[in-house]
């Protein structure tokens, strides 16, 4: 008897690594590039995956693995010795609306934020952000159509951080810097410890009660705390207090990847 997928139910086909009638399969897509291992030199860009245009949008799982040597060992996190890597997902979702590209940057110690993307065609372009004297990074990229997805896979997950900096900044009427710009910042927590002065905080430079210039105000004698979202803002943070002789100051905790 000739074997046919029609003679098996869905579970049996999956166990047998077979496909169902009508499924889109990488084995039938001879023009697609489903994976590659390549080494990026400092500042170099390479397109490591590109697929054909499918008739419909489908969910695709993609995986990035990194190493300092072409032969590995490969791991999910970009090696700490690498300054950064820009990932561009060049995708098509509709012939009439054009591309709907996505981009994110990984720094040393970070892993890709998501693993599923929905599109009709996908190319993965990687760019090393190393300077001329930086290290090479080897990247292993794989892509595969999938059937099941969940929200975590589509929205990404915040990477935990372990590096923290804890500082006390004395209160002053003049603008003062609470935290310098930090592209690796994961989170920032600021607390006003002054009992006689409110503190104005600016996610940016020039915090002042004149104007005023700021993002939020933490009242006096409240020990109010402002906590940034994870991975939301990496620029300079400044503050100022509203009395001529403020006591206390700001407790500042910065977490970095």
3-state secondary structure of 154: helix
Residues 196/247, Cβ–Cβ less than 8 Å: yes
233 by Cβ neighbours in 10 Å (0-12 / 13-18 / 19+) ranks as middle
Assigned domain for 8 exists: no
Assigned domain for 17 exists: no
Please state whether the peptide bond connecting residue 73 to the residue before it is cis, i.e. omega within 30 degrees of 0: yes
Residue 130 and residue 219 in one domain: no
Residue 40 and residue 147 in one domain: yes
Residue 180 and residue 200 in one domain: yes
Residue 87 and residue 36 in one domain: yes
Q: According to the model, what pLDDT value does residue 171 have?
A: 97
Residue 146 and residue 174 in one domain: no
* Residue 117 structure tokens: 């993307």
127 by Cβ neighbours in 10 Å (0-12 / 13-18 / 19+) ranks as middle
- CATH number of domain containing 209: 2.60.120.770
Residue 106 and residue 55 in one domain: yes
Residues 40/135, Cβ–Cβ less than 8 Å: no
Residue 42 and residue 143 in one domain: yes
Assigned domain for 93 exists: yes
Residue 136 and residue 182 in one domain: no
Residue 138 and residue 229 in one domain: no
Q: According to the model, what pLDDT value does residue 83 have?
A: 86
Q: How far is CA 112 from the centre of its chain?
A: 6
Assigned domain for 19 exists: no
Asked which of 155, 173, 198 is the last residue of a domain, the reply is 155
Residue 121 and residue 222 in one domain: no
Residue 169 and residue 132 in one domain: no
Q: How far is CA 197 from the centre of its chain?
A: 38
What's the pTM value of the predicted model, to 2 decimals?
Answer: 0.57
**Could you give the C-alpha distances from 223 to 127, 219, 233, in angstroms and in order?**
44, 8, 23
Q: According to the model, what pLDDT value does residue 27 have?
A: 47
Grouped pLDDT means (10 residues each) for the chain, 257 residues? 53 51 51 80 91 84 90 86 90 80 84 83 91 89 82 66 90 96 88 96 94 93 88 88 95 91
Asked which of 155, 183, 209 is the last residue of a domain, the reply is 155
Q: According to the model, what pLDDT value does residue 102 have?
A: 87
- CATH number of domain containing 105: 2.60.120
Residue 45 and residue 137 in one domain: yes
Assigned domain for 103 exists: yes
CA distance 19 to 199: 63
CA triple 235-239-244, angle to 5 deg: 165
- Total structural domains in the chain? 2
Q: State the residue range of the domain holding 250.
A: 163-256
Asked which of 108, 129, 155 is the last residue of a domain, the reply is 155
């Amino acid at each position: 008897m000739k074997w046919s997928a029609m003679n098996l139910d869905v579970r049996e086909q999956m166990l047998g690594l077979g496909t169902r009638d009508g499924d889109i399969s990488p084995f039938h897509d001879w023009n697609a590039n489903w994976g590659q291992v390549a080494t990026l030199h400092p500042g170099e860009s390479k397109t490591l995956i590109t697929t054909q245009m499918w008739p419909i949008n489908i969910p695709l799982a993609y995986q990035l693995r990194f190493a300092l040597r072409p032969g590995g060992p490969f791991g999910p996190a970009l090696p700490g010795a690498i300054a950064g890597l820009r990932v561009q997902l060049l995708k098509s979702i509709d012939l009439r609306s054009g591309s709907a590209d996505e981009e994110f940057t990984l720094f040393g110690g970070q892993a890709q934020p998501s693993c599923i993307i929905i599109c009709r065609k996908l190319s993965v372009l990687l760019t090393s952000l190393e300077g001329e004297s930086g290290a090479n990074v080897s990247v292993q990229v794989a892509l595969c159509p999938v059937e099941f997805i969940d929200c975590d896979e589509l929205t990404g997950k915040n990477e935990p951080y372990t590096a923290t900096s804890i500082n006390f900044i004395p209160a002053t009427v003049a603008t003062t810097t609470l935290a310098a710009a930090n592209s690796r910042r994961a989170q920032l927590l600021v607390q006003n410890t002054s009992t006689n002065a409110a503190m104005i905080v600016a996610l940016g430079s020039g915090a002042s009660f004149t104007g005023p210039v700021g993002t939020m105000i933490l009242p006096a004698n409240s020990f109010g705390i402002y906590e940034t979202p994870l991975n939301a803002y990496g620029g300079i943070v400044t503050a100022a207090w509203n009395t001529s002789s403020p006591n206390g100051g700001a407790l500042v905790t910065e977490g970095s990847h």
